[in-house]
Structure 1
Amino acid sequence: MSLPIREAAKTSILSMKWRDKWRGLPNLVFDHFSFQVSPGNAALSRAKVLFNIYQVLLLHRGPIPKFTLSIPELGSCPEIDQLVFFLRDKHIQEFTFHSWGMGRHKLPSSFFSYEQLRHLNLAFCLLKAPPTFGGFSRLISVEFQAVDFASNVFESFISKCPLLEQLTIDDCPNIGCLEIDAPNLKSLTFHGVFESICFKNAPRLDFVVIDSILQLHGENAMYNKGHASNMIKVLEGLPAIEYLCIGYLFLKYMAVGKSPQRFPANINHLRVIEVPNMCFGKMEDVSCILCLIMSSPNLQKLELAATCFEDAAATDVLELFEDQELSDDSLKQLQEVWINSFIGEAAELEFVKFLLAKSVVLEKILIQPPPGIVAEEGLNILRRLTRFRRASSKAEIIYVNPDEDRATIVSPVDVCYQLGPKTDAIKSELQSVA
């Protein structure tokens, strides 16, 4: 089962006993490792690949629970539909199909008859379900990469998979409104562009990553212009959320509308918040994150990356921290904070000061500057950070080399830059600060 299909078939020459063993393989993988396609005539290469695949399928005996087809030389050709049709009676449970070429291959209607399907991985294809499609009643995980959906197909497809637990969407066009109606969904990872988000029915969803990596043309197109808070609308649909990663555009979407200091009800299960890109100089960004932190009494870990697109010394941002009123359960469980791309702007420093002063069980705050910052600047930031009052006697401030892996971090004394003659002086200074 661990061999490429060509090598598995060659085991037939070992002995009479081994002659037919490969024909019952439950896992058939046809990818660029399966065939050594020589460059040259594309049509000839495609014909050769298809002949080999047909030959394997015709000789195969028994069910094929796992099938993978990902061969660039095939492109989008009509023979693929015949292969998909052939597999409909093979009890497919895990199906991977990556289409290649200029156009996205439309999956044939026979694909929607895979009644035992449990895991689905599609890439670079077109998905349009027939009107008679009743759903995949056993499907538990789905991964879509650059899959083009016909109008309203995405929402309908997801809602017809009642056991779905894991959903990954990567750079898929025509999503529009990301509407999630999946009562058993536990994990959602989304990369791409959206217009709006609605967790219509997701009571068990506890792991959410929405990292919008592409800029919209006319960014405000996805924003609700009303006065209601998008953040409240989104998180009210996530009662079980434990891990939340908020990408740049998702943060912009969440920040639309006036963010309250606290949610109407606590987000009791949230333990980890990750924000890969945020601007400490933007009032709405900071207000949104603060509201999220203050409304999560069981928050244990916070990870941010400071991306300053605007003046981080804005007075209204600094006043946010002064106006925060802690409830009895705010910041009582926070243990670790990591802030990446930290350059020591006023709002960044004030944020760290706020966390140190209010987090009673905090163990460490790791501060990592962006690449290119000089050691003297870093040392100056560290001096200022270590003067802040700490509510936790265990709280440690660790200033991290820009290129250092977090797994290697021991203490602030061990973290220093390679400066040639200046290295010893910086080490000495770090020891005195620590």
Structure 2
Amino acid sequence: MPIRDALRTSVLSTKWRYSWRSMPKLAFMEDMVEVLSSLPLMRKYKLIRAIFHVLFLHNGPTILKLRFPSHEFLMAFECDLIIGYLSRGNSVKKLKLITDKTYQLPASFFTLQGLETILLTNGVLELPLTFNGFSRLRKTVFVHVKVSAQMLQRFFSKCPLLEYIVLIGDEQGIDSAAGGSKFTFVDLLRYVPLIKGLEVTEDYVKCLSAGGMPHKLPASLAHLKYLFLEVCLMEHN
């Protein structure tokens, strides 16, 4: 049920007044508020007000989805506040953050120790020095995420329960991912002994296979059930 409709159930009776507060999933989209298209700033203001109104009254969602595809809804400061507020409760297990424009994750994001699933698009991953990993993280989906090889390696090395990894990138993002040091398939597979599903698109394959592919796997990968590696057969290497 959309959040707006769920909140309306509070007027049905005293029994229903606070029922919506236990909704496990909250999804905030740019179209959840109604404003004239000629007033983008008013829509942004109403949307942010609605998000915080819901979060302040909610008991704490386990699944949270933030989707702001329009450039006008790139709200770095506001997103920082939202994530900072969520980090106090640490109840979020699944976080989807979808934007059309680059957004650098705040330090408070890395304190969400309850996370089991992360889906991030067009983000910038810069791990703070205090980052000790996500001890419960099982699934990571990075889509056009800008991150250096060193940061990517450090991230996966500190998430011991990872079972599913999806890496989707473009050539521009992979230049950043390659960075000054190499992060290879050997390194990746060494850190994820429990991996069940691995999906890597062409540009990440190029990055991770730099220097050649291993003749022997660094781990048995006994749990692996799904493997997708996108390659271009038209290229010489």
TM category (shorter chain) comes to 0.7 to 0.9
- Please report how far the alpha carbon of residue 150 of structure 1 lies from its aligned counterpart in structure 2 after TM superposition: 4.2
What residue in structure 1 maps to residue 201 of structure 2?
A: 191
Q: Report the AA paired with residue 63 of structure 2.
A: K
The answer on whether the counterparts of 1:126 and 1:150 sit within 8 Å (CA) in structure 2 is: no
> Following the alignment from structure 1 to structure 2, what is the Cα–Cα distance between the partners of residues 252 and 160?
36
Query: Normalised by the size of structure 1, how large is the TM-score?
Result: 0.46
Gap regions ≥5 residues in structure 2: none
Query: Normalised by the size of structure 2, how large is the TM-score?
Result: 0.82
> Following the alignment from structure 1 to structure 2, what is the Cα–Cα distance between the partners of residues 109 and 245?
32
Change over 3 Å in CA distance of 1:20–1:242 after alignment to 2: closer
- Please report how far the alpha carbon of residue 171 of structure 1 lies from its aligned counterpart in structure 2 after TM superposition: 1.2
Percent identity over paired residues: 28
> Following the alignment from structure 1 to structure 2, what is the Cα–Cα distance between the partners of residues 242 and 112?
29
Q: Report the AA paired with residue 231 of structure 2.
A: Y
What residue in structure 2 maps to residue 211 of structure 1?
A: none
What residue in structure 1 maps to residue 230 of structure 2?
A: 247
Change over 3 Å in CA distance of 1:22–1:52 after alignment to 2: same
What residue in structure 2 maps to residue 371 of structure 1?
A: none
> Following the alignment from structure 1 to structure 2, what is the Cα–Cα distance between the partners of residues 150 and 46?
32
The answer on whether the counterparts of 1:74 and 1:100 sit within 8 Å (CA) in structure 2 is: no
Change over 3 Å in CA distance of 1:170–1:5 after alignment to 2: same
What residue in structure 1 maps to residue 113 of structure 2?
A: 115
- Please report how far the alpha carbon of residue 35 of structure 1 lies from its aligned counterpart in structure 2 after TM superposition: 3.3
> Following the alignment from structure 1 to structure 2, what is the Cα–Cα distance between the partners of residues 125 and 96?
11
Q: Report the AA paired with residue 200 of structure 2.
A: F
Change over 3 Å in CA distance of 1:37–1:157 after alignment to 2: farther
- Please report how far the alpha carbon of residue 235 of structure 1 lies from its aligned counterpart in structure 2 after TM superposition: 5.5
Pair 1:43-2:53 in alignment: no
Instruction: Report the 3-state secondary structure (helix = DSSP H, G, I; strand = E; otherwise coil) of the residue aligned with 2:154.
Output: helix
Instruction: Report the 3-state secondary structure (helix = DSSP H, G, I; strand = E; otherwise coil) of the residue aligned with 2:38.
Output: coil
The answer on whether the counterparts of 2:125 and 2:146 sit within 8 Å (CA) in structure 1 is: yes
Instruction: Report the 3-state secondary structure (helix = DSSP H, G, I; strand = E; otherwise coil) of the residue aligned with 1:143.
Output: strand
- Please report how far the alpha carbon of residue 196 of structure 1 lies from its aligned counterpart in structure 2 after TM superposition: 4.1
Change over 3 Å in CA distance of 1:146–1:53 after alignment to 2: same
> Following the alignment from structure 1 to structure 2, what is the Cα–Cα distance between the partners of residues 51 and 97?
18
The answer on whether the counterparts of 1:76 and 1:100 sit within 8 Å (CA) in structure 2 is: no
Q: Report the AA paired with residue 83 of structure 1.
A: I
Of residues 2, 14, 17, the one that matches 2:15 is 17
CA RMSD, Structure 1 to Structure 2 (Å): 2.5
Pair 1:74-2:73 in alignment: yes
> Following the alignment from structure 2 to structure 1, what is the Cα–Cα distance between the partners of residues 199 and 2?
30
What residue in structure 1 maps to residue 168 of structure 2?
A: 170
- Please report how far the alpha carbon of residue 123 of structure 1 lies from its aligned counterpart in structure 2 after TM superposition: 0.8
Instruction: Report the 3-state secondary structure (helix = DSSP H, G, I; strand = E; otherwise coil) of the residue aligned with 2:203.
Output: coil
- Please report how far the alpha carbon of residue 175 of structure 1 lies from its aligned counterpart in structure 2 after TM superposition: 2.5
- Please report how far the alpha carbon of residue 92 of structure 1 lies from its aligned counterpart in structure 2 after TM superposition: 1.2
> Following the alignment from structure 1 to structure 2, what is the Cα–Cα distance between the partners of residues 132 and 20?
38
Instruction: Report the 3-state secondary structure (helix = DSSP H, G, I; strand = E; otherwise coil) of the residue aligned with 2:128.
Output: coil
> Following the alignment from structure 1 to structure 2, what is the Cα–Cα distance between the partners of residues 123 and 186?
22
- 1:192-212: per-residue Cα shift (whole Å, max 9, x none)? 4144436xxxxxxxxxxxxxx
- 1:6-60: per-residue Cα shift (whole Å, max 9, x none)? 1110111111111111122221110245334542232222111101111111222
What residue in structure 1 maps to residue 139 of structure 2?
A: 141
The answer on whether the counterparts of 1:76 and 1:99 sit within 8 Å (CA) in structure 2 is: no
> Following the alignment from structure 2 to structure 1, what is the Cα–Cα distance between the partners of residues 215 and 45?
50
- Please report how far the alpha carbon of residue 99 of structure 1 lies from its aligned counterpart in structure 2 after TM superposition: 2.6
Instruction: Report the 3-state secondary structure (helix = DSSP H, G, I; strand = E; otherwise coil) of the residue aligned with 1:193.
Output: helix
> Following the alignment from structure 1 to structure 2, what is the Cα–Cα distance between the partners of residues 185 and 149?
21
> Following the alignment from structure 1 to structure 2, what is the Cα–Cα distance between the partners of residues 40 and 74?
14
Pair 1:98-2:98 in alignment: yes
> Following the alignment from structure 1 to structure 2, what is the Cα–Cα distance between the partners of residues 53 and 128?
26
Decide which structure has the larger Cα Rg and report it.
1
> Following the alignment from structure 2 to structure 1, what is the Cα–Cα distance between the partners of residues 111 and 83?
10
> Following the alignment from structure 2 to structure 1, what is the Cα–Cα distance between the partners of residues 52 and 196?
38
What residue in structure 2 maps to residue 182 of structure 1?
A: 192
- 1:153-176: per-residue Cα shift (whole Å, max 9, x none)? 111101110000000111151232
Structure richer in helix, relative to its length:
2
What residue in structure 2 maps to residue 65 of structure 1?
A: 62
What residue in structure 1 maps to residue 158 of structure 2?
A: 160
> Following the alignment from structure 2 to structure 1, what is the Cα–Cα distance between the partners of residues 202 and 18?
46
The number of equivalent residue pairs is: 219
Of residues 105, 125, 141, the one that matches 1:127 is 125
